[in-house]
Amino acid sequence: MKLKNVMKIYEDLQLVKFKYENYKEDPRPKVKVLDFEYPGIPGQKTYNQRKDLLGFNLNYFKNKNYARRAIDDIDSFARLLSANKQEKWKRLSYFYPEVLQFIRRYNRQYIRNMKKKQGIFWRRTNYNQLIDIDKDSM
C-alpha cells in the first residue's frame, strides 16, 4: 500500500514546533496549540493588541507521549460536546491539572521556521495555514 493512498483525518489539537527568538528557557518549543489567535487576558496591557499562540509546551513534560495523548483525549471529548476554546481549557485543567504549569503564550513576531506534525512527518507550514485549519476543525 502506498503511503500517499493512506489518509487519516486529524482532529486533535495541532502539534507544531518552531524556533522562538524571544525565548527564556526553550528556544525550540514543541507545542500542542489551544489557540492560534490568543488576545490575552482582560486587564493585561497587551490585551487585544496582538494575537499570540497559546499552547502546551510538551518539552516541559516528563512523559511527553502520555501528555500528548491525554491532551488529545480530553480535547476529543470536548469537541464531541461542541465545546469552545474556553470550555476546552476548563476541561483540560480539571481532568489533567498538571497541564496548568506548562501552558505558554508565544508572541507571533518571534516565531520562525514553523512545522506541523502530519502523521509521522514534520511539514513546513506558515501561521495563516494553521489558523485556517483550526477554524475548519471547530
- Residue type for position 2: K
Question: Per-residue pLDDT tens for 76-127?
Answer: 888 888 878 888 888 999 999 999 899 999 999 999 999 998 888 999 988 8
Map residue 116 onto helix, strand or coil. Answer: strand
Amino acid (one-letter) located at 131: I
Domain boundaries, given as residue ranges, for the chain: 8-137
| pLDDT tens, position by position, 2-47 | 444 443 444 678 899 999 999 999 999 999 998 888 888 888 887 8
Q: What are the backbone dihedrals phi and psi of residue 82, each rounded to the nearest 5 degrees, phi first?
A: 60, 45
Closest Cα to residue 12, out of 97, 92, 109?
Answer: 92
pTM score:
0.82
Measure the CA–CA gap between 12 and 76, rounded to whole angstroms. 6
Distance of CA 36 to the CA centre of its chain: 8
CA 103 – CA 96 distance, rounded (Å): 12
